[in-house]
């Protein structure tokens, strides 16, 4: 198991690389989704106002 | 910090951000200019490490220069400066707020980014630390001297080349001490550059609001 | 073609596609990662080769996204299609993040391979310049308030950039040979590495597609809200 | 509270041209003074002089309050509400941000929304000022005057660019200001809508 | 050259001159560079000669940047651009005139000044000649691309750092070929840099008026 | 010579706001049209649209000359004499340089000195424009109109900042222009000094 994490001595580079990639993807997903929800909510509120 | 002072500071930062002078852009500009140099000079990291301090320091001065005419000329042109001058703030306080806003949106971000750029130039660790320290100490002087220049030329229309002409000579000591401190650190020498830089910077920051206020006064009468 | 480019049509179509695209994206990413960690160490690069599976897909997506923006910009300028503006605008931040990911993972790969996080290699340099092109494009969009104007200006910039990009690449290559760059990226890929790489690349592309759709949808909804608000006030 | 504004033996020379000399006038609280005269005669210059931007070539301007008299230019400025020819509006800020900044800068506590309503800009409150029409900018200037709540109003062509409605509003505001004990000094080519003394420059 | 075209060109040159001579700026800017780089690199003239071309080329590009917002923003702000657009000149001709004015007031003086700076860097004779030639050929591209950037951002208020961010990446080939040509000359090699630089420059100058005119058009509609 | 200016089913939307729609009018040679309406109703925008700066959202504007009809915005601009809200004046140039530049740019052959005399700026002819007063700048704008010698005058608040004399001059110039077969379209809040048709925006 430790040898898996050590990655032949290159763990210090491989894990950050995957970590950063995951973080980047997750951040994009989160931001896009949050913006989508916010926009939807705003529209719904406005439509309700009109009625 | 009085609310009036804070409001001016915040407004200037906001305006900077909206007209593309935000800290983020200062960073991008700085990084870009750091990229250009290897393209001209060549990719040899050893050589690059030697010029890094000079180049990054010139970049800091340039980023400041390019955004300086935002400082007073815009407010002068559209009459905002009249209204600001009539506010409860003294012109010295106004000058201080504007100097601060300028430093926060150019000097500070550059300082924070410099380690990354040092990486691009292959600068070793102690050089990097010194670069950052010298920028932290020296960039306020750039903004302070720049503010004087901006207020002197504030009635001139945009694109004036007079401003750089006025302040570049004044900034030469800053750049020389700043870059010199880094060179010395690279060579493992201790030298007084940092102290001199600090003294210059302190003097510039302390004097600038008064000189700037005087220039503004002069120009409002124009 | 334009039939699908009207906002209502797009909402319907993308609404139907989105769950599937997202699902496949997740599946591809997960299986690609698992496959990636099961490859044997490369005889030259050791286990660092696993970085390739996040590095190369990010780089590919980053470059394609710029091409997409350029194409959308042509549509925007020639046919004045508002959806094209939205599409171009929505792609830019994604492209920038993928570019950043490519740069970061690349430099994490570079440290064990070349002994430095950064070298002024031709490909790295032009990739860095691509990041700047993205940042400039995004900054221009944000700086101009008026939307139609910002859209047109950004489209012109994107096209100028797209025309210039090959020249930039060429010049950087030329520069690099002039100065003898210190490394060349490996050329041939062994088949063992190919499958995880392809799977991951697919995953990255689908992720990009899904996020792109979400962002376009967001903009359409936001626009609807804005015009509603305006009308409400007029009343 | 301000009691009076006095000019004594005022003279101003710009470049090699003498705009006026030996100008004397006093305006007391509650009064309005209209400065009239041909183009280029020096109306704007006089206002800038009173505000303390321009030093007079000769003579002086004094503001008297119940406590003391103020002649120093910069101190005088603290009494001034200014509506100049230039709009002092930043295109990048929206209307509310613009007014909020101004209110904080002047340490004023006005409720901004009703004010925007009053000058007819409520609908535009979130619009970047870049898009305001000329008259809308002038109305924002009026709103700013009220926010600043200064006793001495110096107005340079207050009616320019305003529509009929806007002019009525400006007159109403000026009258209210005078009734509340303020002073209005305005340069204008348009007939003034209410009783005001007049000062003709360049008549000599 | 029609009288209308000439009048616009002359006016722009006059305005540039009145807000500070550009040759002087070039001198000041380069002087700064010329003090700084030796400071980092050390007084080794051979090493200096190696970096000279790159540094001077980067300097040329940056100096052009400083005066770019004079090109369109001023005329846009005060309404002159409306009047110019209604004149018998097409916007393409206008763009050409403005590009020319910018080059004449920055690129050209810089080129003429370069031998002096080459001296500071200990650049040998053939390097100097090539530096001058490459500047002569390349600086028009800088002005041309710069004009595009200036017209894109003309509705933004002054002091933004966005303009450099937009155009510096586009100018990378100019810097590379320009500095490359000098390096090659120093090594006594012939390389194609000058030809490539010429081609880029020609393309930029030919295309720029059309792109610029399109940008102006869209901004007038604002 | 120009024969008429026609707008058909003209509509303009800025941002999310529709300023006008279904606007139809024709002005024939020798006529003057005053565009009226409240602040922010779209007068300036209409003028910019006619000049060809702004593309209409719908409909079109056509200029008919004895030879042909012109609808393209940029071509239309070649008929336009423009006096806008912004002064288009460079502070660094002196008055004569400013006007000379403009005359050459427009390929005009007017004698400038008598013209400067006529608009009352002869004394200032060597003064850098930085020092001109608001009204003097407007007068320079009038001079520019005459120099350009274009058939269709588009004037945005032509009277603003002018003194009594200046207004009379402006009226005189407009009348002369109409008599000579030109067209004047002006946006103004001030009473117009001579007979002109009126177009009220935002009346609906
Ligand atoms: C900051 C550093 C790096 C950056 C910015 C970078 C950038 C790129 C780019 C732009 C691509 C092109 C993707 C495409 O084909 O469209 C790429 C591909 C690739 N990179 Fe990197 N790279 C970096 C470091 C590395 C390192 C250190 C290695 C390995 C030693 C590496 C190996 C590869 C491989 C194997 C490919 C794909 C094969 C190919 O297309 O030829 N990269 N990289
Ligand atoms: N992007 C935008 N979004 C919303 N509204 C806008 C936008 N751009 C302009 N407007 C509005 O369009 C109108 C433009 O008015 P315009 O300048 O044509 O008015 P005007 O009739 O000339 O007014 P004035 O009498 O004050 O000069 C203003 O009400 C402005 O608020
Ligand atoms: N440096 C200078 N040299 C000579 N004359 C100057 C100088 N500066 C200003 N002037 C003149 O001083 C006068 C300033 O006028 P000011 O702006 O005060 O006029 P005004 O009465 O407000 O006119 P308007 O009705 O047009 O607004 C102008 O006639 C101008 O030409
Ligand atoms: Mg005046
Ligand atoms: Mg208007």
Separation in Å, CA of B167 to nearest CA in chain F: 22
Average pLDDT score, chain A: 83
Residue A16: predicted pLDDT:
87
pLDDT band at B164 (very low <50, low <70, confident <90, very high): confident
Cβ(F184)–Cβ(F35) below 8 Å: no
Mutation test residue for ligand 1: of C51, C106, C126, the one with most atoms within 8 Å of CB: C106
Beta carbon of C205 within 6 Å of any ligand 1 atom: no
Q: Which residues of F touch B157 (CB under 8 A)?
A: 90-92
The answer, for B43 touching chain C at a CB cutoff of 8 Å, is: yes
Chain D: residue whose CA lies nearest to C235: D123
- The predicted model gives E214-221 an average pLDDT of 92
Q: What residue spans of B19-154 are helical by DSSP H?
A: 23-41, 45-68, 73-77, 80-85, 91-102, 108-120, 125-152
Q: Which tokens is F61 given?
A: 């504007």
- The predicted model gives D11-25 an average pLDDT of 91
- The predicted model gives E24-47 an average pLDDT of 69
Separation in Å, CA of C31 to nearest CA in chain A: 14
Find residues 152-211 of chain C whose CB sits inside 8 Å of chain E.
152-153, 156-157, 160-161, 164, 167-168, 170-172, 174-175, 178
Average pLDDT score, chain C: 85
Residue C146: predicted pLDDT:
82
> If we measure between CA atoms, which residue out of E132, E4, E142 comes closest to residue E71?
E142
Chain D: residue whose CA lies nearest to B216: D53
Residue B222 has pLDDT above 80, yes or no: no
Return the partners of chain B (3 or more C-beta pairs < 8 Å). Answer: C, D, E, F
Residue B50: predicted pLDDT:
79
Compute the distance from residue B81 Cα to the ligand 4 centre, in Å: 18
Chain F meets chain A (3+ C-beta pairs below 8 A):
no
Which ligand 2 atom is nearest residue F35's CA?
21
- The predicted model gives C85-96 an average pLDDT of 95
Residue E21: predicted pLDDT:
58
- Strand-pair category, F2-14 with F17-28: antiparallel
Chain E meets chain C (3+ C-beta pairs below 8 A):
yes
pLDDT in tens, E177-192: 999 898 888 887 777 8
This complex has an ipTM of: 0.90
Q: In what order do the strands lie in the sheet with F32-36?
A: F80-83, F152-156, F183-187, F32-36, F197-200
Q: Which tokens is B44 given?
A: 């040899």
Q: Which residues of C touch F12 (CB under 8 A)?
A: none
Residue nearest atom 25 of ligand 2, based on CA coordinates: F39
The answer, for C120 touching chain E at a CB cutoff of 8 Å, is: no
pLDDT in tens, D72-103: 888 999 999 999 989 999 988 999 999 999 99
**In chain C, what percentage of residues exceed pLDDT 90?**
50
Residue F192: predicted pLDDT:
81
> If we measure between CA atoms, which residue out of E201, E30, E206, E198 comes closest to residue E112?
E30
Residue B205 has pLDDT above 80, yes or no: yes
The answer, for D130 touching chain C at a CB cutoff of 8 Å, is: yes
The contacts of residue E11 (CB under 8 Å, 6+ apart) are F90, F93, F101
Using H for helix, E for strand and C for coil, what is the string for chain C?
CCCCCCHHHHHHHHHHHHHHHHHHHHHHHHHHHHHHHCCCCECCCEHHHHHHHHHHHHHHHHHHHHHHHHHHHHHHHHHCCHHHHHHHHHHHHHHHHHHHHHHHHHHHHHHHHHCCCCCCCHHHHHHHHHHHHHHHHHHHHHHCCCHHHHHHHHHHHHHHHHHHHHHHHHHHHHHHHHCCCCCCCCCCCCHHHHHHHHHHHHHHHHHHHHHHHHHHHHHHHHHHHHHHHHHHHHC
Residue C159 has pLDDT above 60, yes or no: yes
pLDDT band at C181 (very low <50, low <70, confident <90, very high): very low
Average pLDDT score, chain B: 87
Q: Which of B52-66, E73-87, F120-134, F165-179 has the lowest mean pLDDT?
A: B52-66
pLDDT band at E95 (very low <50, low <70, confident <90, very high): very high
Compute the distance from residue D134 Cα to the ligand 5 centre, in Å: 5
Cβ(B139)–Cβ(B26) below 8 Å: no
Q: Among B150-159, B162-171, C67-76, D188-197, which range has the highest average pLDDT? A: C67-76
Beta carbon of F30 within 6 Å of any ligand 2 atom: no
Beta carbon of C109 within 6 Å of any ligand 1 atom: yes
Q: What is the dihedral of CA D174, D176, D177, D180, to 10 degrees?
A: 160
- The predicted model gives D17-38 an average pLDDT of 92
Between these two residues, C6 and B150, which has the higher pLDDT value? B150
Residue B161 has pLDDT above 70, yes or no: no
Beta carbon of D124 within 6 Å of any ligand 2 atom: yes
pLDDT in tens, C198-218: 999 999 999 999 999 999 999
Residue C80 has pLDDT above 90, yes or no: no
Distance of CA F1 to the CA centre of its chain: 17
Q: Which of C88-97, D48-57, E115-124 has the lowest mean pLDDT?
A: E115-124
Checking phi first, is residue F7 left (phi over 0); if not, alpha (psi -120 to 50) or beta? Answer: beta
**DSSP state letters, B72-94:** THHHHHTTHHHHHHTSSS-HHHH
Q: In what order do the strands lie in the sheet with F69-70?
A: F17-28, F2-14, F58-65, F69-70
The answer, for E157 touching chain B at a CB cutoff of 8 Å, is: yes
Q: Which of B181-190, C151-160, E17-26, E165-174 has the lowest mean pLDDT?
A: E17-26
CB contact under 8 A, D92 and C233: no
Residue C158: predicted pLDDT:
96
Of B15, B83, B221, the CB nearest to D82: B83
pLDDT in tens, F153-179: 999 999 999 999 999 999 999 999 999
Compute the distance from residue F130 Cα to the ligand 3 centre, in Å: 10
pLDDT band at E22 (very low <50, low <70, confident <90, very high): low
DSSP F102: H
Residue E160 has pLDDT above 80, yes or no: no
Of E61, E73, E161, the CB nearest to B20: E161
- The predicted model gives C91-109 an average pLDDT of 93
> If we measure between CA atoms, which residue out of F68, F50, F51, F52 comes closest to residue F2?
F68
Q: Which of B183-197, E197-211, F144-158, F181-195 has the lowest mean pLDDT?
A: B183-197
The answer, for E158 touching chain D at a CB cutoff of 8 Å, is: no
pLDDT in tens, D130-165: 889 999 999 999 999 999 999 999 999 999 999 999
Nearest ligand (C-alpha, residue C127): 1
Residue E40: predicted pLDDT:
64
Which residue is listed with tokens 């494009």? Answer: C137
Cα Rg of chain C, angstroms:
20
Compute the distance from residue D146 Cα to the ligand 4 centre, in Å: 22
CB contact under 8 A, C132 and B25: no
Residue E151: predicted pLDDT:
94
Between these two residues, B9 and D126, which has the higher pLDDT value? B9
Q: Which residues of F touch C147 (CB under 8 A)?
A: 15
Collect the ranges in chain F with pLDDT lower than 50: none
pTM, two decimals, is: 0.91
Residue D133: predicted pLDDT:
93
Interatomic CA distance for residues B31 and B52, integer angstroms: 12
The answer, for C133 touching chain E at a CB cutoff of 8 Å, is: yes
**In chain E, what percentage of residues exceed pLDDT 90?**
45
pLDDT band at E41 (very low <50, low <70, confident <90, very high): low
CB contact under 8 A, D104 and B82: no
Chain D meets chain F (3+ C-beta pairs below 8 A):
yes
Residue C45: predicted pLDDT:
64
Interatomic CA distance for residues F160 and B30, integer angstroms: 46
The answer, for B54 touching chain C at a CB cutoff of 8 Å, is: no
Beta carbon of C121 within 6 Å of any ligand 1 atom: no
Give the binding-site residues of ligand 3, using a 6 Å CB cut-off. Answer: D 14-17, 19, 37, 39-45, 187; F 124, 127, 131-136, 161, 163
């Amino acid at each position: 198991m430790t040898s898996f994490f050590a990655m032949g001595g290159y763990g210090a580079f491989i894990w950050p690389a995957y970590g950063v990639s995951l973080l980047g993807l997750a951040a994009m997903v989160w931001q896009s989704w949050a913006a989508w929800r916010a926009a939807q909510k705003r529209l719904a509120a406005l439509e309700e106002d009109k009625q | 910090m009085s609310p009036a002072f804070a409001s001016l500071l915040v407004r200037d930062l906001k305006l900077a951000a909206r007209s593309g002078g935000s800290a983020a852009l200062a960073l991008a500009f700085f990084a870009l200019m750091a990229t250009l140099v290897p393209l001209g000079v060549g990719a040899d990291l050893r050589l690059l490490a030697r010029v890094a301090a000079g180049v990054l320091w010139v970049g800091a001065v340039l980023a400041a220069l390019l955004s300086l005419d935002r400082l007073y000329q815009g407010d002068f042109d559209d009459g905002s400066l009249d209204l600001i001058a009539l506010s409860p703030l003294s012109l010295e306080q106004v000058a201080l707020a504007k100097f601060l806003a300028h430093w926060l949106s150019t000097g500070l971000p550059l300082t924070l980014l410099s380690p990354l750029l040092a990486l691009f130039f292959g600068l070793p660790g102690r050089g990097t630390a010194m670069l950052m320290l010298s920028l932290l100490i020296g960039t306020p002087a750039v903004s302070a001297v720049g503010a004087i220049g901006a207020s002197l030329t504030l009635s001139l229309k945009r694109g004036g080349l007079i401003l750089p002409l006025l302040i570049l000579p004044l900034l030469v000591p800053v750049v020389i001490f700043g870059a010199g401190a880094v060179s010395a650190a690279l060579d493992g020498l201790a030298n007084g550059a940092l102290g001199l830089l600090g003294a210059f910077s302190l003097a510039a920051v302390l004097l600038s609001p008064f000189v700037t206020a005087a220039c503004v006064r002069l120009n409002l009468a124009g | 073609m334009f039939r699908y480019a009207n906002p209502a049509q797009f909402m319907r179509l993308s609404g139907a596609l989105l769950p599937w695209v997202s699902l496949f994206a997740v599946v591809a990413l997960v299986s690609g990662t698992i496959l990636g960690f099961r490859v044997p160490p490369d005889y030259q690069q050791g286990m660092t080769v696993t970085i390739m599976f996040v590095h190369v897909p990010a780089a590919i997506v980053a470059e394609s996204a710029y091409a997409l923006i350029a194409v959308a910009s042509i549509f925007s300028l020639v046919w004045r299609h508002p959806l094209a503006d939205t599409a171009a605008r929505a792609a830019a931040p994604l492209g920038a993040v993928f570019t950043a990911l490519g740069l970061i993972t690349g430099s994490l790969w570079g440290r064990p391979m070349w002994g430095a996080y950064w070298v002024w290699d031709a490909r790295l340099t032009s990739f860095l310049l691509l990041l700047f092109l993205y940042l400039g494009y995004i900054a221009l969009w944000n700086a101009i308030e008026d939307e139609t104007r910002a859209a047109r200006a950004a489209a012109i910039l994107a096209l100028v950039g797209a025309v210039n990009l090959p020249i930039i690449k060429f010049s950087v290559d030329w520069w690099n040979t002039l100065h003898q760059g210190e490394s060349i990226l490996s050329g041939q890929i062994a088949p063992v590495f190919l499958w995880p790489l392809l799977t991951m690349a697919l995953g990255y592309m689908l992720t990009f597609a899904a996020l792109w759709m979400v962002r376009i949808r967001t903009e359409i909804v936001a626009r609807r809200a804005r015009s509603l608000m305006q009308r409400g006030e007029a009343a | 509270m301000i009691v009076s504004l006095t000019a004594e033996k005022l003279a101003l020379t710009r470049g090699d041209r003498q705009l006026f000399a030996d100008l004397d006038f006093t305006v007391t609280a509650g009064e309005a003074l209209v400065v009239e005269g041909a183009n280029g005669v020096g109306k704007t210059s006089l206002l800038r002089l009173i505000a303390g931007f321009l030093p007079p070539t000769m003579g002086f301007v004094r503001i008297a309050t119940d406590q003391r008299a103020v002649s120093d230019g910069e101190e005088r400025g603290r009494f001034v509400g200014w509506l100049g020819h230039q709009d002092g509006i930043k295109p990048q800020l929206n209307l509310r941000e613009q007014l909020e900044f101004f209110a904080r800068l002047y340490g004023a506590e006005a409720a901004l929304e009703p004010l925007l309503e009053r000058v007819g800009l409520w609908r535009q409150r979130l619009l970047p000022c870049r898009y305001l029409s000329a008259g809308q900018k002038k109305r924002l200037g009026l709103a700013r005057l009220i926010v600043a709540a200064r006793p001495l109003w110096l107005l340079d062509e207050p009616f320019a660019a305003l529509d009929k409605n806007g002019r009525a509003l400006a007159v109403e505001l000026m009258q209210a200001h005078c009734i509340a004990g303020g002073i209005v000094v305005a340069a204008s080519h348009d007939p003034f809508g209410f009783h005001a003394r007049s000062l003709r420059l360049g008549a000599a």
